[in-house]
Amino acid sequence: MELLDRINELCKEKGISRRQMEKEAGLGTGSTSKWKGGFRPNQASMKKLSDFFGVSVAYLQGESDFRTEQEAIIQGWNKTIDTQVLADETKKYEKGQLIPVLGTVVAGIPLEAVEEILDWEEISVKLARTGEFFGLQIKGDSMSPRMIEGDVVIVRQQADADTGDIVIAKVNGDDACCKKLIKHEDGISLVSFNPNYEPMYFSNQEVLDKPVTIIGKVVELRGKF
């Protein structure tokens, strides 16, 4: 199977067009249309495709039927080792990677430079491939009853989000807060789950002037007892 066939197959699985994939993966518009008849794009483009789809370059180029190196290793082991050993190794790969749980988040400071790490949480390899993540410990009761003080949210770092998303935001340089984002034509609202807290509305100009900064999107809640 040629590169373009692999790309078409992966785009179909994601439910997106090649044109949309090119845009989201950071490739030139229409660039994949040239990849026919054994043509190979440069290494930078292959890396972008590999990262975007979460598969190996070897799989994209048709050199392997396994989507990841881990899958190839595990499938190979399946023929030579007993079931228990295979299960143990599979669990090791499924365990994923550790991310720091922070008490506060400062916009613009790389996570590796943050010293206030309260704990560590584990996320799956599949999730980890979709971006950079950190955990944040919930403080106060503004997001109760769904989120209570001490719970941890798993956050993907990003500077924007869609209306209805739960986000981590900073207002006027204050500590990061967890709120539901609602977008309006003339501004945004940061809304608490707890009805005792009024929504915080900011005009488009106030978003720029204060500023109001989106740090990330909450993708998972982990309750603590």
Query: What are the structural domain ranges in the chain?
Result: 3-92, 97-222
Residue 80 has pLDDT above 70, yes or no: no
Q: What's the CA gap between 101 and 103, in Å, rounded?
A: 7
Annotated active-site residue in 50, 56, 170, 179: 179
Q: What's the CA gap between 151 and 4, in Å, rounded?
A: 45
Looking at residue 77, its pLDDT comes to: 45
Residue 114 has pLDDT above 80, yes or no: no
Classify domain 97-222 at the CATH topology level. Answer: Umud Fragment, subunit A (2.10.109)
pTM: 0.57
Ranges 18-32, 75-89, 210-224, most confident: 210-224
Q: What is the mean pLDDT of residues 129-158?
A: 90
Beta strands in the chain (DSSP E): 97-102, 117-123, 133-137, 152-157, 166-171, 177-184, 187-191, 200-203, 212-222
Concerning whether 179 is annotated as a catalytic residue, the answer is yes
Residue 109 has pLDDT above 50, yes or no: no
Residue 67 has pLDDT above 50, yes or no: yes
Q: What is the mean pLDDT of residues 115-136?
A: 85
What is the 8-class DSSP label of residue 31?
A: G
Residue 218 has pLDDT above 50, yes or no: yes
Annotated active-site residue in 50, 142, 170, 192: 142
Give the right CATH number for 3-92 from 3.30.450.20, 1.10.260.40, 1.10.15.40, 1.10.760.10: 1.10.260.40
Looking at residue 74, its pLDDT comes to: 52
Contact 154, 220 (CB under 8 A): yes
Mapped onto helix, strand or coil, the DSSP state of residue 74 is: helix
Domain 3-92 and domain 97-222, same fold? Reply is: no
- The one-letter amino acid code at 199 reads P
Phi/psi of residue 135, nearest 5 degrees: -105, 150
